[in-house]
Amino acid sequence: MRIALIGNQNSGKTTLFNVLTGTNQKVGNWPGVTIERKLGVIRGTDFEIVDLPGVYSLSPYSVEEEISRKFLFEEDVDLILNIVDSTSMERSLYLTTQLLELGIPMIIALNMMDIADKRGIHIDLKTLEKRLDTTIVSISALKKTNVFNLIQYIKMGDYRKNYYHHVYDHELESAIESIKEITTSKHPQFLAVKLIEDDPVFAEYHTDSTKKIVDHLKQSYMRDMEQIIADERYRYIENIRDEAVSARNEQMTWTDRIDNVLLHRFFAIPIFMIVMFGIYYLAAGPVGAYTVGLVGKYVSLFSDWTRNLLEGFGASPWSVSLVVDGMIAGVGAILNFLPQLVILFLLISFLETTGYMSRIAFFLDRIFQKVGLSGKSLIPFIIGSGCSVPAIMSARTINDETERRMTIMLTPFIPCSAKLPIITLFAGYFFKENSGLVSASLYFFAIGVIFLSALIMKKFWFKGKHSSFILELPEYKIPNFKFIMYDVFEKVKAFIQQAGSIILLASMSIISGYSDTTSEGVIIFGSSIFSFFTPASAYAFMVFNLFSA
C-alpha cells in the first residue's frame, strides 16, 4: 500500500511523518530537483508513506506544488493522508478540496486540536465529515495524541471512500461533467477542472470539444476561469466553515505579543543583530574557547600516552610521528572545534524551530528588495552558516531566476562550519581577550559585503523587476529538543564525514613527507614561517579566508 502525506507548510506534516515512521525512513531528492524526498514505512505495517513537499494548492506556482501534483496525478497512490491545521481551517481546506477531486481515498488528520481548543475554536467533526464525505481523525502530532488511532484506521482500511460533492455553481458543474465524458484519465474530475482553468501543464489533454466548452464558459463569465474556480472553492469552504466551525472573539495571543517586540519597526533589526552576535560570541568567544581548551587538553594527554606506548614497543620515530602528529593530531584538529560547531548549530536550530527565523526573513524582505534579493534568500544564508553546499542547493527553490542566481553567488560569503575553526584559531591566538568579539565582527562584515555585492550585481548585471515574497508566519512554538538534537547530530556528522577525512589525510601526508621529527612545531604561530603575522595581518587573513570561496 502506498500512502501520500500532504499538507500546508507549518501544519505539522514533518512531525507526523516522523511519528508514523520512526527510524523507518530514507531521504533522497525528487527527480530533476534538489528538494528533499522522504520515504518511510508506517510502524507495525509494510505500508509505504511518501512525505510530499508542503504546499498550499495543486496549482503550479512553485516547484513544490509541481512535484506534489505530478506525483499524485501520475503515480499509483492508494491513500492520501491530508494533514490539516485546525487553527487555520479556511486556508487549509483549499488544498483539501483539490485533493478530493483526484478521487483517491483520503483521510484528513486534523492536527493541533489542542491549540485550537485553547483558542476557543470548536470544530464539529461529524458535520465536517458529512460535508467533505471523508474520514477525519483529530490528532496532535507533537504530543502524539490519537496517532495510534490514525494508524489503526489505515491498517484496517476503516475509512470512507470519499465521493465527490458539488463544489461549483450549476453551469460549472455541467461543464465539468461534459468534459469528463469526452476525456480519459485516472482522475477525470481533477483533469476537467484543470482544463477549465487552462492550466498549461494539461494542455495536451485539450481537444477541439473541450476547448469549445471552455470557450463557452469564458464568454459566459467574462472573467479569468482560474479565478472563477478559486472563488467557487472559497465560497464552498466558507459554507463548511460556517456549519462546522465556531470560535469565540479573537484575543491577542502570545505570538502577537512577542511579535509586537521582535518585529517592531525600529527594534527588529537591532534585536536580530544582538541575537546573531550572541550566537557567534558564544560559539567562538569564552564558552567556545573553553571547550576548545578542554578538548585540546584531553587530546594532548591521549597523544602523550600513545607516543609513550609506541616508543615503549620500540616503534620507529617516523611511525610514531605518523600516528601521533599525523593521525591523532588530524582527528584532534576536528575534535578541538567540534564543540563550537555544536553550539553554533544548536542555537541556530533553536531559532528556526521556534519560528523566529521565518519572521526575520519576512521582516528583512523590504531591505533585501533594495539590493535585488528577497526574504527567501535569508534561508540559504542561514543554512550557509552550517555548510555552503546545502545552502546553495536550498536556493533552487527560489522561483525568480535572477534572485536565485544572486543568492547562489553570495551564499559562500557567509562564514560556514569549515571556516569557523580557522577564524577561531586566529582570533584566539591574536585576540585572546576579544576573540568572541572579533569572530562575531567577521559575521557582520560578511553581511555588509553581501549587501554591497548584491547592490553592484543589481546595478550592472541583474537589472529588472524582482518577485514579491509571500510567507506564512507560524505560531511561536516551544522547540522539540529531540528534533533539535537530531538536526544538530546530522549536521555535525556531515561535517565530520566531509571535512574530517580531508583533514586526516592531509595531516598524514604532511607528516609522512616531513623527515625532521626533532622539531615538531607544536606552537604553530611561533614558528618562523608565521613570523610575519601581526593582529592586523591576522585579521586581514581571516577576511581573505572568509571570502576565498
Residue 294: pLDDT above 70?
A: yes
CA separation for the pair 52, 38 (Å, rounded):
8
Q: With CA atoms as reference, report the closest residue to 107 among 130, 139, 137, 127.
A: 137
Return the pLDDT at 28: 46
- Of residues 403 and 428, more confidently modeled: 403
pLDDT over threshold 60, residue 24: no
- The string of pLDDT tens digits covering residues 405-440 is 888 888 887 777 667 666 766 666 667 667 667 777
Is position 23 within any domain? yes
> Is residue 218 in some structural domain?
yes
Mean pLDDT to the nearest integer, 472-501: 73
Domain count, the chain: 3
Residue 125 in contact with residue 94, Cβ under 8 Å?
A: no
User: Looking at the domain assignment, is residue 253 inside a domain?
Assistant: no
Q: 246 pairs with which residues across the strands?
A: 122
* High-pLDDT (> 70) share of the chain, %: 75
- Cell numbers describing residue 486: 537530531
CB 25, CB 103: distance < 8 Å = no
Residue type, 170: H
**179 with 126, same domain?**
no
Q: How long is the chain?
A: 549
Helices marked H in 384-518: 388-394, 401-410, 420-430, 435-460, 481-495, 501-512
For residues 87 and 190, membership in a common domain is answered with: no
Q: Is residue 524 part of a domain?
A: no
Q: Do 217 and 330 fall within a single domain?
A: no
Environment class of 217 (CB within 10 Å of its CB; exposed 0-12, middle 13-18, buried 19+) = middle
Residue 199 has which C-alpha cell?
A: 492550466
pLDDT at residue 19 greater than cutoff 90: no
* DSSP annotation of 188: H
Query: How far is residue 271's CA from residue 251's CA, in Å, rounded to a whole number?
Result: 26
Contacts of 412-415 with C-beta under 8 Å, sequence gap 24+, read: 412/384, 412/388, 412/549, 413/446, 413/449, 413/450, 413/453, 413/546, 413/547, 413/549, 414/381, 414/384, 414/385, 414/388, 414/446, 414/450, 415/385, 415/442, 415/443, 415/446, 415/546
| Any domain includes 461 | yes
CATH (domain of 51):
3.40.50.300
The pLDDT of residue 6 is 92
Amino acid at 127: T
pTM: predicted TM-score of the whole model, two decimal places: 0.64
pLDDT band at residue 357, thresholds of 50, 70 and 90?
confident
| Structural contact between residues 228 and 172, judged by C-beta atoms closer than 8 angstroms | yes
Domain hosting residue 400, numbered range: 268-513+533-547
Bridge partners, 7 (sequence order)? 83
Element (H, E) at 269: helix 268-284
Could you give the count of Cα atoms lying within 13 Å of 474 in the half-sphere of its Cβ?
20
Tracing cell 513537499 back to the chain, one arrives at 53
Pick 423 or 70 by higher pLDDT: 70
Query: Which range, 171-175, 327-331, 368-372, is most confident?
Result: 171-175
- Paired strand residues for 48: 2, 41
Question: Which of the listed residues 212, 247, 282 is the one where a domain comes to its end?
Answer: 247
Q: What is the CATH number of the domain that holds 243?
A: 1.10.287.1770
pLDDT, position 522: 41
Please give the grid coordinates belonging to residue 74.
Answer: 501520475
How high is the pLDDT of residue 531? 55
Q: Which residue has the cell 484528513?
A: 108
Burial of 404 (0-12, 13-18, 19+ CB in 10 A): middle
In this structure, are 120 and 31 located in the same domain?
A: yes
- Do β-strands 121-123 and 245-247 pair in parallel, antiparallel, or remain unpaired? antiparallel
Give pLDDT tens digits for 529-541: 455 556 666 666 6
Question: Worst-scoring range by mean pLDDT, 7-11, 157-161, 333-337?
Answer: 333-337
Indicate whether 323 pLDDT > 90: no
- In this structure, of 63-77, 268-282, 332-346, 418-432, the range with the lowest mean pLDDT score is 418-432
Owner of C-alpha cell 521582535: 262
Q: Pick the more confident residue, 418 or 307.
A: 307
pLDDT at 263: 82
Contact 412, 512 (CB under 8 A): no
DSSP 246: E
Question: Contact 406/459 with Cβ under 8 angstroms?
Answer: no
- Whether the pLDDT of residue 56 is over 60: the answer is yes
CB under 8 A, 24+ apart: contacts of 219-228: 220/171, 225/196, 225/197, 225/198, 226/59, 226/197, 226/198, 226/199, 228/172
Higher pLDDT, 415 or 108: 108
Same domain flag for 321 and 454:
yes
- What distances in angstroms separate CA 114 from CA 10, 128, 136, 140, 476, one per listed residue? 16, 18, 16, 7, 15
Nearest to 168 by CA among 185, 188, 189: 189
Pair (26, 89) in one structural domain: yes
Range among 334-338, 371-375, 415-419 with highest mean pLDDT value: 371-375
> Are 215 and 331 within one domain?
no
Element (H, E) at 80: strand 79-85
Summarize the confidence of residues 145-153 as an average pLDDT: 88
Residue 448 domain flag: yes
The CA distance from 106 to 99, in Å, is 8
Which grid coordinates are listed for 36?
Answer: 528533499
Domain check: are 126 and 197 in the same one? no
E strand or H helix at 29, and its extent? strand 25-29
Query: How do residues 183-236 score in pLDDT, each as one tens digit?
Result: 888 888 999 999 998 888 888 888 899 999 999 998 988 888 888 898 999 999
Query: Where does 285-328 have alpha helices with state H?
Result: 286-312, 317-321
Residue 262 lies in a domain: no
Which DSSP state fits 104?
-
Q: What pLDDT score was predicted for residue 30?
A: 43
Say if residue 357 is in the same domain as residue 487: yes
Return mean pLDDT, the chain.
Answer: 78
Last residue of a domain, one of 94, 121, 156: 156
Cβ neighbours of residue 544 under 8 Å, at least 6 residues apart? none
The pLDDT confidence band at residue 83, using thresholds 50, 70 and 90, is: very high
Using an 8 Å Cβ cutoff, are 109 and 150 in contact?
yes
Q: Is the pLDDT of residue 32 over 60?
A: no
Residues 272 and 369 in one domain: yes
Rounded to the nearest 10°, the torsion over CA 170, 171, 177, 182 is 170
pLDDT of residue 517: 42
Strand (E) or helix (H) holding 5: strand 2-7
Q: What's the grid cell of residue 423? A: 577564524
- Residue 502 belongs to a domain: yes
All residues at 6 or more sequence positions from 373 whose CB lies less than 8 Å from its CB, including other chains: 403, 406, 407, 454, 466
| 456 and 496 share one domain | yes
Same domain, 180 and 135: no
